[in-house]
């Protein structure tokens, strides 16, 4: 473990074929941790991914038990990928088009610039462009879900478990703070419901916090924030496809190099756009997606080498903060200047 800088040895052991029984110990721990996170989230109103992260970190000592490695590896990868596919049920083409061309271009621009600032800040602090892509993409798109998806696409040779955990911690903390502070900023700027909804939907990290902040401002702002935020979620798949395409040719795998779960995301969003998926089925799929992503976060936190978290200092959090501030300023500027 001490020499396993990127978690590759642990992953190789977890990925080795051992039969389904080998996965049960780790998956049992992940399931119990995820259920506990769901209970705390329901009773205290906290984001489920944040609760899953905290519980996983509290159970980090279990990573020393090799019997858990196969199940933890399966949960942090396979369950995550299926969760990303099911996130597509949140998105429809009509929602994206409802924004209008000006707002849609603004959202795309905010996402692109935020990721770019993340990359530049990470390089400035000596953390490398890959970490900047991870942190900037998580801020720009949909928080913890985007972080997990980007980490899976980039691979553990580029993004360590410690780096991913730092991003999850930073995103959860800053998103929770944004949910409280950003509506006050919108009130201070005397924004209309349209402007406030755009600001909150285009700048807050996670979906739940963006919607919570929007409806805290007003019901009208909440509806706009939901559309804008889901448009950002829809950009997850294109961003993952671009990231995969920029990897060295020998590391893209077969075919186009676009991960299968990205294709699945696109396909499910396209089917959902036709309206053939019943509302109850869509809600059920969304709940399953949330559960799978929470399980993946729990497993990732358990697997994380905590010693490395303490070695990096505040630099990773400064990268996340720089991307967060960029998204806020750009969203406020677009709302104030273009959406009058």
Residues whose CB falls within 8 Å of the CB of residue 94, separated by 6 or more in sequence, listed in order: 273
**Chain centre distance of CA 18:** 30
Report which of 332, 77, 315 is spatially closest to residue 197, judged by C-alpha positions.
332
What was the pLDDT predicted at 306? 61
**pLDDT tier, 258 (very low <50, low <70, confident <90, very high otherwise):** low
**What was the pLDDT predicted at 304?**
67
Handedness of CA 283, 298, 137, 321 (dihedral sign): positive
The string of pLDDT tens digits covering residues 34-62 is 999 889 888 887 767 778 878 887 888 88
Residues 95-123 have pLDDT tens digits of: 667 667 888 889 999 999 999 999 999 99
Beta carbons within 10 angstroms of residue 144's beta carbon: 29
Classified as helix, coil or strand, 274 is coil
C-alpha span between 11 and 244 (Å, rounded): 20
How far is 140 from 138, CA to CA, in rounded Å? Answer: 6
SS3 252: coil
Q: CA 91 to CA 82: how far, in whole Å? A: 16
Give the mean model confidence (pLDDT) for residues 17-37. Answer: 84
Q: CA-CA distance, 243 to 152, in Å (whole number)? A: 11
- Relative orientation angle of helices 101-124 and 129-140, to the nearest 10 degrees: 150
User: CA–CA separation, 199 vs 273, rounded Å?
Assistant: 25
Q: pLDDT tens across 268-319, in order?
A: 878 888 888 888 888 888 888 888 878 887 887 787 666 655 566 678 889 9
CB 43 within 8 A of CB 256: no
User: With 50 as the cut, is the pLDDT of residue 8 above it?
Assistant: no
197: tokens are 């909804």
pTM of the full predicted structure? 0.67
Tokens of residue 258, six digits? 């676009």
Taking CA atoms, 19 is separated from 23, 24, 28, 100, 286, in Å, by 8, 10, 16, 51, 30
Mean pLDDT on 184-203: 90
Q: Helix (H, G, I), strand (E, B), or coil: what is residue 213? A: helix
Token pair for 45: 């109103």
Q: Which of 76, 43, 44, 130 is nearest to 298 (CA)?
A: 76
pLDDT given at position 108: 92
Query: H-type helices in 45-160, by residue range?
Result: 48-58, 69-74, 80-87, 93-98, 101-124, 129-140, 144-154
55 CB neighbour count, 10 Å cutoff = 21
Per-domain residue ranges of the chain:
8-338
Torsion of CA 311, 119, 178, 332, to 10 degrees: 160
- Please report, rounded to a whole number, the percentage of residues in the chain having pLDDT higher than 70: 84
Tokens at residue 1, please?
Answer: 């473990």
């Amino acid at each position: 473990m001490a020499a396993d800088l990127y978690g590759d040895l642990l992953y190789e052991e977890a990925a080795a074929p051992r039969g389904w029984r080998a996965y049960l110990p780790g998956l049992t721990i992940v399931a119990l941790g995820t259920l506990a996170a769901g209970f705390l989230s329901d009773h205290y109103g906290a984001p489920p991914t944040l609760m899953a992260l905290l519980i996983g970190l509290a159970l980090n000592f279990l990573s020393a038990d090799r019997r858990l490695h196969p199940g933890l590896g399966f949960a942090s990868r396979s369950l995550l990928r299926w969760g990303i596919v099911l996130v597509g049920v949140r998105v429809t083409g009509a929602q994206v088009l409802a924004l209008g061309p000006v707002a849609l271009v603004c959202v795309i621009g905010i996402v692109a610039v935020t990721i770019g600032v993340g990359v530049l800040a990470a390089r400035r602090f000596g953390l490398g462009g890959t970490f900047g892509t991870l942190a900037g993409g998580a801020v720009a798109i949909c928080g913890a879900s985007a972080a997990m998806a980007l980490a899976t696409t980039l691979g553990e040779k580029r993004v360590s478990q410690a780096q991913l955990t730092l991003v999850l911690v930073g995103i959860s903390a800053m998103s929770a703070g944004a949910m409280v502070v950003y509506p006050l900023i919108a009130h201070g700027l005397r924004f209309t419901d349209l402007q406030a909804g755009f600001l909150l939907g285009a700048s807050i990290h996670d979906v739940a916090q963006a919607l919570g902040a929007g409806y805290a401002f007003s019901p009208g702002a909440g509806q706009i924030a939901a559309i804008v935020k889901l448009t950002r979620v829809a950009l997850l798949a294109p961003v993952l496809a671009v990231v995969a395409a920029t990897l060295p040719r020998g590391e893209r795998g077969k075919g186009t190099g676009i991960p299968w779960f990205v294709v699945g995301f696109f396909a499910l969003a396209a089917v959902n756009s036709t309206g053939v998926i019943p509302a109850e089925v869509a809600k059920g799929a969304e709940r399953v997606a949330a559960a799978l992503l929470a399980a993946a976060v729990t497993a990732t936190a358990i697997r994380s080498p905590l010693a490395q978290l303490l070695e990096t200092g505040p630099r990773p959090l400064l990268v996340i903060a720089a991307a967060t501030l960029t998204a806020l300023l750009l969203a406020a500027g677009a709302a104030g200047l273009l959406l009058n």
